[in-house]
Structure 1
């Protein structure tokens, strides 16, 4: 072999390492999600399938157009549809199943017989959740959805449980409200989802919408300071929600001339962006968000 043997193998470059990392995430999280679903633990299955989906989307950004990753997303979306539906997020379940079917159609020329069956399976899953959604909407209260959203928002801010009517109304628009005992980050997301819906449905509820976002920021901050698992290992996911929330709040502060709140929210935003920067290397939407927030911070002061 010569005096020095064959030498040490070349170390993978950063691109190859990232691909290997995300491929492992897809496989491990996907298998774990299916196992949790088979055991009836659909809340855990949903969390794991979200991890798998985020990883496969990262692979597509690293190797755009690679049919392996298109197939991987289709398979992940197919399972994700069930996980979403079992957790009451029926409208999202329909969208996930439709996405799986669309991807399988793109891949069909590679193996028509194989993909015809996969297309049929995905379409069948979509129809199953469409029927569920139709039943949910048909059984929803007749009240205006803006009233339901507003009532639910107030109860959530006051720490009160939702009424069955409010819960059904939220389910009709794809919202599964996290209870007071839920993890802080999931409860924060419930606040943000309600804020987004209420902002669109009832523009006159601006004060309540802002309070929801302020409370979501507080929950994210508490979770971060407590070093909760979600903020330590899934910051690329939850951190983007936190950054968007802070950016909205800071822009409102700037427009209203509230310099004290502006300073506070910009300080938090700068800190969150610092933790998100590593994710910008592999996640396009995160990179765009960080760039947008950086431009805002530069425009209002030095951070």
Structure 2
């Protein structure tokens, strides 16, 4: 059976890949096999991976909303747009959870020119500038031109002191974060140049997906009990993490949701964060 990937490439349907993605969402083996059998019965020649994903998501949502929310994680990061402003805030929150002090949306003077810096981090006397490369669609990747360009900005900024967390801080590290992937050449160039990368699949074992699951830093955009419009309203209120709803449901009342809706949403929040 041939299927069409997001990129347009035509490949063989790989049931093992679907199985792995279901298990990564926390789905138990019985549920995963049931979903796979139902999807196999609906496959046809030339079906898109997007359609297969949608089928799996809808089947999981019927069985367990937390499984569906985790399965929807990568797509939910793509909703932190349109320009990535909320993704930058999300990255800042992630590093705060890891014990860093953070600042966002900075304008810093380098030796040659002024630069906009998405996020600055401080921990253990180390100052890191973070460049966030947000992509709203699955096909987009960060190629080698990205670390090349950011390296030149890093070199211009690290030669000068900056008022960040103290009066005179020197930037000594640089991290590039993307919600998608880096090309192989981009990863090679970054490693060779001393730049750090964080993406959906890098570094191995400590990538963005693993960090989100480990720390339960799920974006509100992954919740299945909220509409797209409701998610956008919450983001505008700076409610970016599911855990923020767990701590206070006032924002749900503020956007006009009924007590019954709020109860169902908080039920999903509790199940997802437990």
TM-score of the superposed pair, with normalisation by structure 1: 0.20
- More RCO (CA 8 Å, sep 6+): 2
Structure with the bigger percentage of helix: 1
Structure with the bigger percentage of strand: 2
TM-score of the superposed pair, with normalisation by structure 2: 0.22
